[in-house]
A and B are shown apart, each in its own frame.
Chain A
Amino acid sequence: SQTIHQWPATLVQPVGSPLSLECTVEGTSNPNLYWYRQAAGRGLQLLFYSVGIGQISSEVPQNLSASRPQDRQFILSSKKLLLSDSGFYLCAWRRLHSGNTIYFGEGSWLTVV
């Protein structure tokens, strides 16, 4: 069966510090991968999605970036965090072709202080 893991689960970072959130999927190959952010407990905003290694589509211009160094690994990064980057970050995966269920990781709570 397929599983998705993301870490760390929670982190508190000072303004201006770097960020790295990691997500891995097991039990499948060539998945579509997604990063979402949820602020203030409502509304999931799509940040990035990837259909293959090194292929990243950005939905929202901001100081975040994403990378996919391996087929089942998706990383969300920032060089310098802003207060507005605080929120709940969710990684998700889906099989390559359209029409399949999207599955979410456990999420990462980020507080920028």
Chain B
Amino acid sequence: GIQVEQSPPDLILQEGANSTLRCNFSDSVNNLQWFHQNPWGQLINLFYIPSGTKQNGRLSATTVATERYSLLYISSSQTTDSGVYFCAAQNSGGYQKVTFGTGTKLQVIP
């Protein structure tokens, strides 16, 4: 099945700083999503982005499907951005499996 890798595994930011999180996947995809898991365990959908670029407030994401990676940008980080960020992908083979990366744990300090 498809392999999904995220980097960096851990990230500490000063409040107000910008960051880029990366997601590499091993096969062509027809589904790529970014999630934020808050300290209570809830998984929040950030972006559905199998290709192209999307923006939502201070967050934006870009997926370059031909090169098999996606990036999540966080600008002007806030302490509420802390948590674990996951990307998840489904390959184009028609299977219904959605595979998650290992996550990036972000801590934003005041």
Which residues does A use to contact B, with CB under 8 Å?
A: 32, 34, 36, 38, 41-46, 49, 51, 57, 59, 88, 90, 92, 94, 98-104, 106-107, 109
- Chain B residue nearest to A32 (CB atoms) is B96
Footprint of A on B, CB under 8 Å? 30-31, 33, 35, 41-43, 45, 48, 50, 84, 86, 88, 90, 94, 96-100, 102-103, 105
- CB of B97 within 8 A of CB of A100, answer no
CB of B56 to closest CB in A, whole Å? 14
Query: Are A101 and B100 in touch, CB under 8 angstroms?
Result: no
CB distance from A39 to the nearest CB of B (A): 12
What are 11 pairs between A and B in contact, CB < 8 Å?
A38-B41, A43-B100, A44-B86, A44-B100, A45-B100, A46-B99, A57-B96, A98-B90, A104-B35, A107-B42, A107-B43
